[in-house]
Amino acid sequence: MEISQEQLKEKIKNGDKLVVDFWADWCGPCKVMKPLFEKVSSDMIEKNSEIQMYTLNVMKNQELAVELGIRSIPTIKAFEGGSEVHSSVGALNESEINKITQKLL
């Protein structure tokens, strides 16, 4: 589920349908949202969805976080066709995370 900045750049370049949770160890709201994001990710895997869901630690991948304009965490971004198609800042509930995935279907 955790992805490196090199892997993420490659997947974006390939045009994959991605939903990425940008987080950090010290972020309380990130810790609250992580199990919800993981549940939605598991649901996508069970449905054999083409949507891939990953987490990226901004402290370990600061270069990409800056490049993608991450200024606050948690931030969820969705990518499709090599472009960013959605961005949400702040903790989201399971329903809100699901809505982001539905936009990519």
* CATH of residue 78: 3.40.30.10
Q: Has 35 been annotated as catalytic? A: no
Per-residue buried b or exposed e for 4-31, using 16+ beta carbons within 10 Å of the residue's own CB = ebeebeebbeeebbbbbbbbeeebeebe
Residue 29 — pLDDT band, cuts 50, 70, 90? very high
State pTM to two decimals.
Answer: 0.95
Run of H or E including 44: helix 28-46
Domain that holds residue 50: 5-104
Neighbours of 80 (CB within 10 A): 17
56-104 pLDDT, tens digit per residue, is 999 999 999 999 999 999 999 999 999 999 999 999 999 999 999 999 9
Catalytic residue among 12, 19, 20, 30: 30
51: closest CA among 61, 40, 35? 40
Q: What are phi and psi of 56, to 5 degrees?
A: -135, 120
- Inter-CA distances, 33 with 3, 17, 23, 95, Å: 17, 21, 10, 12
Tally the domains of the chain. Answer: 1
Asked if 104 and 19 count as a contact pair (C-beta separation under 8 A), the reply is: yes
Does the pLDDT of residue 5 top 90, yes or no?
A: yes
Does the pLDDT of residue 105 top 90, yes or no?
A: no
**Which amino acid type is present at position 86?**
H
Q: Has 9 been annotated as catalytic? A: no
Catalytic residue among 3, 27, 64, 104: 27
